[in-house]
Structure 1
Amino acid sequence: MVKSAPPPIASRKPSKVEGIKENSNFLREPVATQILEDTTHFSEDAIQILKFHGSYQQDNRDNRVKGQEKDYQFMLRTKNPGGLVPPQLYLALDKLADEYGNHTLRATTRQGFQLHGILKKNLKAAIASIIQNLGSTLGACGDINRNVMAPPVPLKNRADYQYAWEYAQNIADLLSPQTGAYYEIWLDGEKAISAEESPEVKAARERNGNGTIVHDTEEPLYGTHYMPRKFKVSVTVPGDNSIDLYSQDLTLVVITDEQDNLQGFNIFAGGGLGRTHNKEETFARVADPIGYVAKDDVYDAVKAIVATQRDYGDRSDRRHARLKYLINDWGVDKFRAKVEEYFGKPLAPFQPLPEFKYEDFLGWHEQGDGNLFLGISIDNGRVKDEGTFQLKTALREIVEQFNLPIRLTPHQNLIFYEIAPAQKSAIQEILDRCGIVTDPGKIEPLERYAMACPALPTCGLAITESERAIPGILARIRTLLDKVGLQNEHFVVRMTGCPNGCARPYMAELGFVGSAPESYQVWLGGSPDQTRLAQPYVEKLPDKDIESFLEPIFVFFKQSRKPQESFGDFCDRLGFDAIREFVAQYQPEPVTLTVEPEEPTLATKSRKARYRVSLHDDLYNKVKTTATSQGRSMTELVKEALDAYFQHLT
């Protein structure tokens, strides 16, 4: 019988979380007991198990009051394979956001939704409502397979995209926990109505496959300890990197023949981005090509990879527990050999693939069967009503009136599909009335391709701001690009409030990773298509110094780039030594500030006198910031400063 955890390593005892999982009675306790208690929060042990049910306990740091209890609230995350959100589920989530949450929804970077601000007393009702409306939160968090991603674009005339959707759903079913705890706790034991599972998936889950199954347990694939850490899977098609395939633990790439018949899947494994500052043993890593598997064997191959990580992943050091570390420590050949032991035969050679490209599918498009789809950009995934911008209202009206399904995108956007051409004008009218831009050409490109995690105030891991900071930082970057003569330039900017990398900053051309309050580690050199890992350029950049830091790099880019070369490709080609050398020698052009006298003199009565004072950027920016904060003109502030200076001299 195969154990659900590897044999203990001498002198290395399992982490505390391993014991919590083992004693949870398959994810029941202590959540089942504590959800009935009239308290505002769960215990530390319960918090770990609650994650498997799709919820994180959080503290709104904006509302902290010294000497009082933390402002406990809960984030709920949905699991939507391939990003599918049925209309009934969307309307339920929209209602829950107002009834129990903070009046917003947030599309995640893994194609789910998050609800924020739910109180413990309302948690059971919220989860029950999601389940009853064709949704789930089970396995959206925790040491388990997370939401299975797939390209969101609904191209009905592309068989490979349809296969990607089908197998994303099937693999999500295959790797779903089998414990009854979820329905016992949140629905009092009632089983929800859900789509029927594929018979192939059910049979694959029960096949032993040379040790992939843990016998005599509620969890035949996971056992009593589940996975060492989270496990992330995606399914895509050749050339489509809308799902950031290199950042996943496991990616399957659909392979078809010339008649569009499914043949099998290429396998990538070992990607992952989470890391810890000042811990060199933790690092971001891109996935490796592992091999190819025929379609009839794909579920057994997936089980073999999961079982390898389950049995050999590090359960003593949670910072070293992801699959990427196992493959990095073992090497691809040893990992493949171990997978083949569980699989029962060799994997076939990796099939040739075209270059992968990133697309976001925004705007109006035909979906290949006479109907339309519409991709809507959502800034940092936050669905809300604010002033004349009424996105939450618009989406609710569209779903209510037209009963359209939704696909969430890995870039925190949203796609409506199955739109009859006759419905287009009415949908566009709703969006126009609510201030929603649907023409991607009218969206600021820096904003269009940027991503940020929620960070403060609710994420307990956040070191500094991210979602709330990035709009202002992108505006400052645009101003700087205009200043140095790169008016039409844009690139992929991603930001996180901590090094865990939820918005995948390590694949960006310019990545900001929170390293201290109002400071960021800066990563440069990722590719526009997210096929190359960026590298850390500076460890701690204060927010206020972003312009002076980036200006020389942008000037070097303008002067030394190749035709049509992207910013990330430029940084990767030139290397950091060359960039640092240019920055060290860079002398910014002085900024000219015009100062006018209070009253014209006899000498200037025939003309208006203007005197020019040159300031370097850092001083100019300080004057500008101070003048703005005080509601005064820069000229007035400079005069006052000079008067004070000369009075001091005398």
Structure 2
Amino acid sequence: MTTSLGAANPVVLKESKLQIPSFHGLRSAKSLAITPHAHAISVPSSSLSLIRAVSTPSKPETAVEPKRSKVEIFKEQSNYIRYPLNEELLTDASNINEAATQLIKFHGSYQQYNRDERGSKSYSFMLRTKNPCGKVSNQLYLTMDDLADQFGIGTLRLTTRQTFQLHGVLKKDLKTVMGTIIRNLGSTLGACGDLNRNVLAPAAPFLREDYLFAQKTAENIAALLTPQSGFYYDMWVDGERIMSAEPPEAVQARNDNSHGTNFPDSPEPIYGTQFLPRKFKIAVTVPTDNSVDILTNDIGIVVVSGDDGKPQGFNIYVGGGMGRTHRLETTFPRLGEPLGYVPKEDILSAVKAIVVTQRENGRRDDRKYSRMKYLISSWGIEKFRSVVEQYYGKKFEPFRVLPEWEFKSYLGWHEQGDGSLFCGLHVDSGRIAGKMKKTLREVIEKYNLNVRITPNQNIILTDIRTAWKRPISTSLAQAGLLHPKYVDPLNVTAMACPAFPLCPLAITEAERGIPQILKRVRSVFEKVGLKYSESVVIRITGCPNGCARPYMAELGLVGDGPNSYQIWLGGKPNQTSLARSFMNKVKIQDLERVLEPLFYYWKHKRQSKESFGDFTNRTGFEKLQELVEKWEGPVAAPARYNLKLFADKETYEAMDELARLKNKNAHQLAMEVIRNYVTAQQNGKAE
């Protein structure tokens, strides 16, 4: 089968119908009298075409094959993500080999070990679910809660892509845990690996046509790009297909090969044997709602409605992505940019065309450069659009004008639109543990609630009757799940990745370090005179891969050494601007030395309602560097406002000792006490 990307560039899709790449561990090996570990068989070259997943320009047989990464070889020899994982799971070892470690990602799991422990490695597995739109049924939530206690480390973690992560599962328990998730209407298929990851959409369960349409579209895209070859079910539930029927529009779009997108007669019509060059991320939302960090995705899709409020089509952004490598300037975070507009009936065809363009042209030799953002950066958006249009079969219409984006957390109580309520709960770094975990389970079980996971690592309880609001609020508050007005504003928008002790890529702390860092930032706010209600978006990661999207933060801390961070500045509160690297190798104990002058000058030099990110960009990094280097502490208040606070040495020394506990000096603490007293007296008179 051939398709053309221009008259001068004919492209041939090749894939052997004889699925015996290297014959590693396949059933067909026995019938061919080959040992399971044989590496080759004598087959006339004319009878077996080269097995590939990508379209490649036709070329002479003597042409040198392009370089491919080790992971590409693992995928090709895996019999569609089965071998050698199927054999490794049967061994008595607590871990699996290198090839299986790469392949199990496609099944939704990462091999990890406890990096806090010394000596021999203590291996376990992290499982990540796949929950389009963050939707989690009552049955699945209770199942995950049980599994965390029975087979995990007793906690659940909510991720920045609206999924659960279950840590600490032993290899011997993997099949039991995976099978339990599948049989309780869940899945981990494609939650990791080189394929489409979980599709994001606003988690709010509003019964509004645009929100419902966005969520339905996200679910259809997830179905369209779900692997079809059955490797997941073969591995974990002995081939039993348990999931419900697929949306017919997704099936139709997947099977449509009118523009040369598919591998004919392949178990994986979209992915082939090689799947994608790297992970692929998609988000769908409605205008103004940037709860999904829309510009950080490979594809960002926005519902466009007509004057009557009815959805008409979609704007499409392409080329976002967060990952980078320290001190390698050819790697970088990138925002998505407008590709065009499509009518609503064409969205699945357009998404498929974009995915196939990346499948065919994304780099497979060096995984650092394999994300679609690098392809678009190399080609430019015009060339990328023209190639996608060949697979789409149409021209994209002009991008529609959109209103300003807003970050929406959906914390607190809200009306769904059907007489029921939903309640958004802040969960620090997404970690559900201890009394919080116990209480959430009790409430969800007692009231038979479904839940949604947000892209900001929080949880939403849905379908709550009005009469249940008071008892549920009381139970949640007793477990520390507070109304948002009682949560520090710094915590509301903060995020951190898991990092130590289990992530093998972590360079320094993130989740375990962020509580103390946020307290220290709050102390700096108080010291320089910023109000409690003021906030900045803070995101922390233990390495440069950017799982908590630190490159969109107003203040991003990116691990670059033991107890050391890069500081990134300049993102916007609505997540529409990239931050930039401001300072390298800042030790954790030196954060105040950098942050105090930055926040002080933001307080005193900002324009009306200017956010911290906008202030840092307007001021310029060179000027900010100078302010940090010359900083000697806050400037004293003008003399006419000074008070003689201490009449005797003993009072001063006592105050000074108390102040040090709060990282203040005696004068600052005394002024704080006086201000609080005066405010209290004034409030008393007002009442």
TM-score, normalised on structure 1? Answer: 0.89
Equivalence for 1:339: 388
SS of the equivalent of 1:365 reads strand
Pairing partner for 1:453 from 494, 497, 501: 497
Equivalence for 2:565: 520
Q: CA RMSD for the aligned pairs?
A: 2.1
Residue type at the aligned position of 1:45: A
Residue type at the aligned position of 1:408: I
Pairing partner for 1:473 from 501, 510, 517: 517
SS of the equivalent of 1:136 reads coil
Distance, in Å, in 2 between the alignment partners of 1:349 and 1:72 is 51
Give the drift of 1:5: 1.7
Distance, in Å, in 1 between the alignment partners of 2:513 and 2:649 is 42
Give the drift of 1:427: 1.5
Question: Residues 578 and 183 (structure 1 numbering): CA distance in 2 closer, same or farther, change over 3 Å?
Answer: same
Equivalence for 1:648: none
Give the drift of 1:582: 2.5
* Correspondences of 1:171-570 after superposition (within 5 Å): 171-192=221-242, 194-385=243-434, 390-437=435-482, 439-488=483-532, 489-570=534-615
Give the drift of 1:623: 13
Q: Deviations over 1:453-473 (max 9, x none)?
A: 000000000000000000000
Give the drift of 1:585: 3.2
Equivalence for 1:635: none
Q: Is the Cα–Cα contact under 8 Å of residues 455 and 467 in structure 1 kept in the other structure?
A: yes
Distance, in Å, in 1 between the alignment partners of 2:383 and 2:94 is 48
Give the drift of 1:395: 1.2
SS of the equivalent of 2:602 reads helix
Q: Is the Cα–Cα contact under 8 Å of residues 523 and 663 in structure 2 kept in the other structure?
A: no
SS of the equivalent of 2:422 reads strand
Q: Does 1:84 align with 2:128?
A: no
Question: Residues 178 and 590 (structure 1 numbering): CA distance in 2 closer, same or farther, change over 3 Å?
Answer: same
Q: Does 1:116 align with 2:156?
A: no
Q: Is the Cα–Cα contact under 8 Å of residues 249 and 287 in structure 1 kept in the other structure?
A: yes
Equivalence for 1:38: 92
Give the drift of 1:583: 2.5
Q: Deviations over 1:591-617 (max 9, x none)?
A: 9xxxxxxxxxxxxxx9765788999xx
Q: Deviations over 1:305-341 (max 9, x none)?
A: 0000000000001000000000000000000000001
SS of the equivalent of 2:585 reads strand
Q: Is the Cα–Cα contact under 8 Å of residues 209 and 300 in structure 1 kept in the other structure?
A: no
Residue type at the aligned position of 1:283: F
Q: Does 1:20 align with 2:65?
A: no
Equivalence for 1:597: none
Pairing partner for 1:101 from 128, 141, 152: 152
SS of the equivalent of 1:210 reads coil
Distance, in Å, in 1 between the alignment partners of 2:662 and 2:567 is 26
Residue type at the aligned position of 1:57: Q
Q: Does 1:50 align with 2:50?
A: no
Equivalenced residue count is 597
Residue type at the aligned position of 1:112: T
Equivalence for 1:135: 186
Residue type at the aligned position of 2:68: P
Give the drift of 1:587: 2.5
Structure 1 stretches lacking a partner, 5+ long: 592-605, 626-650
Residue type at the aligned position of 1:52: F
Equivalence for 2:632: 587
SS of the equivalent of 2:462 reads strand
Residue type at the aligned position of 2:160: T
Give the drift of 1:577: 1.6
Distance, in Å, in 2 between the alignment partners of 1:517 and 1:344 is 51
Residue type at the aligned position of 1:75: M
Distance, in Å, in 1 between the alignment partners of 2:478 and 2:595 is 38
Question: Residues 624 and 234 (structure 1 numbering): CA distance in 2 closer, same or farther, change over 3 Å?
Answer: closer
Pairing partner for 1:162 from 190, 209, 212: 212
Question: Residues 359 and 306 (structure 1 numbering): CA distance in 2 closer, same or farther, change over 3 Å?
Answer: same
Give the drift of 1:586: 2.8
SS of the equivalent of 1:301 reads helix
Distance, in Å, in 2 between the alignment partners of 1:614 and 1:537 is 37
Residue type at the aligned position of 1:395: L
Residue type at the aligned position of 2:244: A
Distance, in Å, in 1 between the alignment partners of 2:650 and 2:399 is 74
Question: Residues 85 and 239 (structure 1 numbering): CA distance in 2 closer, same or farther, change over 3 Å?
Answer: same
Distance, in Å, in 1 between the alignment partners of 2:81 and 2:139 is 28
Residue type at the aligned position of 1:139: G
SS of the equivalent of 2:566 reads strand
Q: Is the Cα–Cα contact under 8 Å of residues 27 and 179 in structure 1 kept in the other structure?
A: no
Q: Is the Cα–Cα contact under 8 Å of residues 590 and 614 in structure 1 kept in the other structure?
A: no
Q: Is the Cα–Cα contact under 8 Å of residues 365 and 373 in structure 1 kept in the other structure?
A: yes
* Correspondences of 1:635-650 after superposition (within 5 Å): none
Distance, in Å, in 1 between the alignment partners of 2:630 and 2:467 is 61
Distance, in Å, in 2 between the alignment partners of 1:609 and 1:358 is 50
Question: Residues 609 and 36 (structure 1 numbering): CA distance in 2 closer, same or farther, change over 3 Å?
Answer: closer
Question: Residues 525 and 37 (structure 1 numbering): CA distance in 2 closer, same or farther, change over 3 Å?
Answer: same
SS of the equivalent of 1:205 reads helix
SS of the equivalent of 1:7 reads strand
Question: Residues 297 and 559 (structure 1 numbering): CA distance in 2 closer, same or farther, change over 3 Å?
Answer: same
* Correspondences of 1:552-631 after superposition (within 5 Å): 552-589=597-634
TM-score, normalised on structure 2? Answer: 0.84
Q: Is the Cα–Cα contact under 8 Å of residues 64 and 71 in structure 1 kept in the other structure?
A: no
Question: Residues 578 and 10 (structure 1 numbering): CA distance in 2 closer, same or farther, change over 3 Å?
Answer: farther
Percent identity of paired positions between Structure 1 and Structure 2: 52
Question: Residues 555 and 196 (structure 1 numbering): CA distance in 2 closer, same or farther, change over 3 Å?
Answer: same
Q: Is the Cα–Cα contact under 8 Å of residues 362 and 375 in structure 1 kept in the other structure?
A: yes
Question: Residues 259 and 458 (structure 1 numbering): CA distance in 2 closer, same or farther, change over 3 Å?
Answer: same
Give the drift of 1:10: 6.1
Structure 2 stretches lacking a partner, 5+ long: 2-12, 15-52, 58-62, 637-646, 665-687
Q: Deviations over 1:118-150 (max 9, x none)?
A: 100001100100000000000000000000000
Distance, in Å, in 2 between the alignment partners of 1:209 and 1:533 is 39
Distance, in Å, in 2 between the alignment partners of 1:260 and 1:377 is 31
Q: Deviations over 1:236-267 (max 9, x none)?
A: 00111000001000011011212232211100
SS of the equivalent of 2:300 reads strand
Residue type at the aligned position of 1:457: P
Give the drift of 1:404: 1.0
Q: Deviations over 1:419-440 (max 9, x none)?
A: 1112222222321332321x21
Distance, in Å, in 1 between the alignment partners of 2:606 and 2:487 is 25
Question: Residues 610 and 300 (structure 1 numbering): CA distance in 2 closer, same or farther, change over 3 Å?
Answer: closer
Equivalence for 1:631: none
Equivalence for 1:602: none
Q: Is the Cα–Cα contact under 8 Å of residues 133 and 202 in structure 2 kept in the other structure?
A: yes
Pairing partner for 2:83 from 13, 16, 29: 29
SS of the equivalent of 1:62 reads coil
